[in-house]
Amino acid sequence: MERGNGMRAVDLILKKKNGGVMSKPEIEWLVDGFVKGKVPDYQMAAWMMAVCFQGMNPQETGALTDVMMRSGGMVDLSALPGVKVDKHSTGGVGDTTTLIVAPLVAACGGTVAKMSGRGLGHTGGTLDKLESVPGVNVEIPMERFFEIVKEIGLCVMGQTEGLVPADKRMYALRDVTGTVSSIPLIASSVMSKKLAAGADAIVLDVKMGTGAFMQTLPEAQALARTMVEIGAHMGRRTVALVTDMNQPLGMAVGNGLEVREAIELLAGKIPSGDPLYEVSMLLASHMLLLSGLAKNEAETRAKLTQALTSGAGLQKLGAMLRALGGDVRCIEDPDSLCIVEKKIPVALGAAGYIAAMRAEEIGVAAQLLGAGRATKEDHIDPAVGLVMHKRQGMHVAADEPVATLYVNDPAHVEEAAALVRAAFTLSQEPPASMPMVYDVIS
């Protein structure tokens, strides 16, 4: 059992369990000890469970974030020109905004040097989406990443091995000890990675609803405020949106399918008013504001609309895919990304208005078809998943397909179709329409 500086892990667990406030040296001792293997998993897990019940004040959460951020190597982006702006979504379904906003922001003169992760469970990961384009390699050396950003204004790469090892180990433990859903633990996990990745400005998209970590607006706002305060305290311009995850953000759920949808949006084929369009525009808008490239939202809207209609945004996406070794024929022919053996329509067998369309079930259905991993070792089929045909609030006939499954392996088709059906709640009256964006916190 680890002790040092007169500290013992059991005393720190008891302190938090009894509602005490941890000092920064105490948090540092615990996290450092854990990363070095001196504080065992069971004591870290017990402490994190105490944090779940007792919470942490802003000083404690800030200290935890700082200690986690410095637990490994940090990225210095200062050699790159301009304000480096990053974005992060807290795990959505059908959320392909990175592949839309990074090219749009770059097309408007911004600099996006971004590290992304892989998908796990029912939420997708940007790296897996990028790899659905033949030839793309996201595990590039840091020098190449800098070159690409200098040349075209954007690059998304895989998070480097040594970035925030404390989070890697803590998250693995949280996942299996029921300690994921804690605002200070989520905020420090997300922000330690964003801060270590080096951006000057950060736009966060906090999801709220049935498919998200935060299921109510007050909880989502509290998480958003906590992360914005951490960012500000660390000298980074930070803004958080709270957006809806009571239905998938885009219509496509699956890797190649989501890249196709991003290409279609950047090609001007998805209209304003669509949730993916609106949330992407708002995220990009705040990224431009934080970058100092526009004075107000009217100006960012004008610039972004120009980047869309001129095709400049789509050109940036193509340039990045090419720089990563990708075959860019998909820009002209996005259907090539989702060629499957079978497309299977799913109808509900009942008519009514769509009152709810739970994102989590839909995400799990896509995962079952092979679009996502249950464990880190699972293989992903880039072409499979599903495309929704309806939005919350729309009317649907009994035999009308609400989704189409894109299938290569027939093994879990029945289960996936059943999950899609179970995701829907119908009502006989038109339901109240749900907002796409609940709050902007800066």
Any contact of residue 91 with Ca ion (CB under 5 A)? yes
C-beta of residue 369 within 8 angstroms of C-beta of residue 386: yes
| CB closer to ligand URA, 171 vs 277 | 171
How open is the CA angle 273-274-279, to the nearest 5 degrees? 90
Print the binding letters for residues 201-220 with ligand URA: x by CB under 6 A, - otherwise.
------------x-------
Out of 118, 174, 194, 236, the active site residue is 174
Q: How many residues bind ligand URA (CB under 6 A)?
A: 8
DSSP state of 371: I
Shortest distance, position 274 Cβ to Ca ion, whole Å:
23
Reply yes or no on whether 17 is catalytic. Answer: no
Q: Judge whether 327 and 133 are in contact, CB under 8 Å.
A: yes
User: Does the protein bind Ca ion through residue 124 (CB under 5 A)?
Assistant: no
Q: Are 394 and 441 in contact (CB under 8 A)?
A: no
- Range in contact with ligand URA (rule: CB under 6 A) among 52-60, 185-193, 215-223, 396-404: 185-193
Work out the end-to-end distance of the chain between its first and last CA atoms, rounded to an integer number of angstroms: 43
Instruction: Check residue 437 and give left, alpha or beta (phi > 0: left; psi -120 to 50: alpha).
Output: beta
Q: Of 186 and 262, which CB lies nearer to ligand URA in the complex structure? A: 186
- Cα–Cα dist 332/326, whole Å: 13
Binding mask 411-440 for Ca ion (x = CB under 5 A): ------------------------------
**Which residues, 160 to 179, sit near ligand URA by CB under 6 A?**
171
The type of residue at 315 is Q
In whole angstroms, give the CA distance from residue 424 to residue 418.
10
Question: In this structure, are residues 406 and 387 in contact, taking their beta carbons and an 8 Å threshold?
Answer: yes
- Alpha-carbon distance 92 to 201, whole Å? 21
Binding-residue pattern over the window 5 to 44 for ligand URA, x denoting contact by CB under 6 A: ----------------------------------------
Per CB under 6 A, the list member of 43, 89, 90, 243 interacting with ligand URA is 90
Catalytic residue among 182, 188, 189, 285: 189
DSSP per residue over 315-329, as a string?
Answer: HHHHHHHHHTT--TH
Q: Is 433 a catalytic residue?
A: no
Whether 174 is catalytic: yes
For residues 385 and 424, what is the distance between their CA atoms, to the nearest angstrom? 17
Given candidates 116, 189, 238, 285, which one binds ligand URA under the rule CB under 6 A? 189
List contacts with Ca ion (CB under 5 A). Answer: 91
Active site residues: 88, 167, 174, 189, 193
List contacts with ligand URA (CB under 6 A). Answer: 90-91, 171, 185-186, 189-190, 213
